[in-house]
Amino acid sequence: MSDTPVFSFHQGTKPLLLSIPHCGTHIPADIQAQLLPRALDVRDTDWHLPILYAFAKEMGASILQANMSRYVIDLNRPIDQTNLYPGQDTTLLCPIDNFDREPLYPEGRTPDQTEIDRRRALYWQPYHDALAAEIARMRSVHEEIVMWDAHSIRSVLPRFFEGKLTDLNLGTAGGKSCDPILAAQVLACAQADTAHSSVLNGRFTGGTITRQYGQPATGVHAIQLEMTWSSYMNELPPYNYLPDTAAKVQPVLKQMLQICADWQF
C-alpha cells in the first residue's frame, strides 16, 4: 500500500472526459522490493501527458490521471488477461517485462494470482470506479459525452510494430466505441495537420478503457489516441519534455478535443 493517491481527478463542466491511465510513475515500496532495479526507471511511462494536455482543463474537460506506474498494474488491460490484439505481442495486466522484453522481476518471482488480485483491488479498481462514476455523473447532465483516452509511446518499438509508428493513432475499437460521424470528424482534423501522420483504427484500436466504456448507444463515445513520443518529447533518457516540439502538435490536439466537447448527435 502507498500514501500516494491512486489517481488525481479534476471535475469539469463540459461533456468531455480525459483519461490518462499510463502517465503515473509511482511504485509503492512493497512492490519496488519485488522488482529488479531496471524496473525503477519506469521507462514505458506515457511521459508528460498531463503537461501536454494541460489546456484541457481550461476547455472545461474532466480529467482523470493515474499516479501509479503501469509496472504496478496496467489500468488499460482486462482483468481476465485476454490479449487485446490476438496474435500480436502485448504486455500483461501486471507486466513481467518491459517493452524491450527485459524482465522486471527476478526469475521465478513474478506476481502470482494472489498478488495480482491484491493489486487489482488496491490500484486497478479505484481508477475504474472513478472513471465509471464520472461517466455516470456526466451522463446525468449531458445527453452525449465523449471520453478521450490519452496515450503515448516510442515511435520505434520493434516488439509491437515495424518501422516508425504513425504519429497520431486514433482508435475506436474498430468503430464500436464511438459514433462513426464523430470519428470521421476527428480523423479529418488530424489529417489536416500535415506535420503529423495520422490513422484511424490502425495498429492501435483502443485498449480496455476504450472498449469497455465506449457505448455509443447509451450516449458514451470513447476515442483512444496513441501518439508518438517524438511528437512532443525526447525519446532518450531522461525523456525530457520539449516545449517547442510539443507546441507544434498541441493545436491539433486542441482542435480534436474541441470537436469532441462540442459533439451533439
Structural domains in the chain? Answer: 7-261 (3.40.630.40)
- Return the exposure string of 30-43: e unless at least 16 CB atoms fall within 10 Å of the residue's CB, then b: ebbeebeeebeebb
Q: What is the pLDDT of residues 110-132, one digit of tens each?
A: 999 999 999 999 999 999 999 99
d(CA 62, CA 38): 34
Under the banding of pLDDT at 50, 70 and 90, the label for residue 208 is very high
State the cell numbers at 72. Answer: 504496478
- Looking at residue 143, its pLDDT comes to 95
Looking at every residue in the chain, the average pLDDT score rounds to 96
- Taking the whole predicted model, whether its pTM rises above 0.85 is answered as yes
Q: What is the pLDDT of residues 27-50, one digit of tens each?
A: 999 999 999 999 999 999 999 999
Q: Between vectors from CA 33 to CA 29 and to CA 34, what angle results, nearest 5°? A: 125
Under the banding of pLDDT at 50, 70 and 90, the label for residue 86 is confident
